[in-house]
Amino acid sequence: MPIVAQQTQRTWMWGPAATTGLLSEPYVNSPGGTRIVQYFDKSRMEINNRDGDRSSPWYVTNGLLASELISGRMAVGDSAWLAREPAVVNVAGDADDPAGPTYATFATVRDASRSVQGAPIVATLARDGNVDTNPWLAQWGATDAEWVSLTGHWVASPFWAFMQSQGTVYKGGIYATEPLFENPFYATGYPITDAYWANVRVGGTASDVLVQCFERRCLTYTPANSPEWQVEAGNIGLHYYTWRYGQAGETLTPANITTGDLRIDYILADPSWEEGAKYEYALIRNHDDVTIHLKGWQVKDESGTTFTFPDGVFLLPGASLRLHVAKGLNTPTDIYWGRTGAVWNNGGDSGYLIDPTGKTVSGYFY
């Protein structure tokens, strides 16, 4: 609010506006197996328990997006993940910079840490994961300032100063000077890497930038910027959304296909009363011991009428969903084909379940 109203100048921590509407994403520990989320340039805001205490500062949380992008594990519960690949997306600078480090780069150094408080930070990180030193960078005064034993990493001094800083905030209907964050780690989470210098392209110009990733965000320090913009938060909300949902027309690859023991357990054909497709459905169950991502899976009848599951549909081990022939609003347990007429013949038919590789993995015959 203060930035939009031009009451102050500093980095956005969320962004000028949401980049999506309210979305429902699978989360096994939330009521009904889904949580409410909304994406911003620099974050994803989440309500894990809509019936929780709305006065709590943790009723709405910021997603652990950097942790997921670096580990390659997409969270679908407090202790449940889908295995993906670390994101080959630039953490800082121009998106098309071929030399800047990516989240996958930071995956190679997440277990490394330095050991001397106050030491100048001169370590550099290349896109291929190579770590080197450049004593010239000591002139910028960045040091390892705050040790976080919980994750085993230092917080770099420019970031630690920013996380504890005061500034103009909007609170109780007025602008006031107060700490930017109730807790220094509220917006960022704990550090999951040490800080490294990288030479990245910003607006087409190469620049030395200090980068450090925390659980929720990655922060950058660019000495060449004006003071109010030296510390910035990266566009991790945009990076994560692209990694999770991909681009329109993307081609399925092994990195975003999940196969497993999925079966059609039952088909309710068009009932005898005149309801068209209203009550038709196929019951699909996950008989595997891992969560299955249904993106790209298909259901076909004997004549070849086909439904293809969209992205964002997941089945936990032992869980089932109904694929309804009719139109409706998708939920984690009910997916709608969107047809106005029946698919399954009353006098007998076959249903086939085909995984994204083209393999028929299940059939139901009646």
Give dist(CA 65, CA 34) in Å, integer.
17
Average pLDDT of span 323-336: 85
Instruction: pLDDT band for 16, please (50, 70, 90 cuts).
Output: confident
Q: What is the pLDDT of residue 256?
A: 44
CA distances from residue 89 to 31, 45, 93, 147, 169 in whole angstroms, order as listed:
32, 21, 11, 28, 32
Token pair of 133, please?
């030193």
Length of the chain in residues, anyone?
A: 366
Cβ distance 112 to 194 under 8 Å? yes
Q: Which residues of 320-355 are buried (b: 16+ CB within 10 A; e: fewer)?
A: bbbbbbbeeeeebeebbbebeebbbeeeebbbbbbb
For 233-284, how does the pLDDT look when each residue is reduced to its tens digit (9 = 90+)?
999 998 998 888 764 333 334 334 467 889 999 998 866 545 556 688 999 9
Average pLDDT for the chain: 84
Q: Global pTM?
A: 0.65
Lowest mean pLDDT among 140-144, 158-162, 278-282: 278-282
CATH number for the domain whose boundaries are 254-365: 2.60.40.1260
Better-scored residue on pLDDT, 346 or 122: 122
**pLDDT score of 3:** 47
**Residue range(s) of every CATH 2.60.40.1260 domain in the chain:** 254-365
Q: What is the pLDDT of residue 189?
A: 93
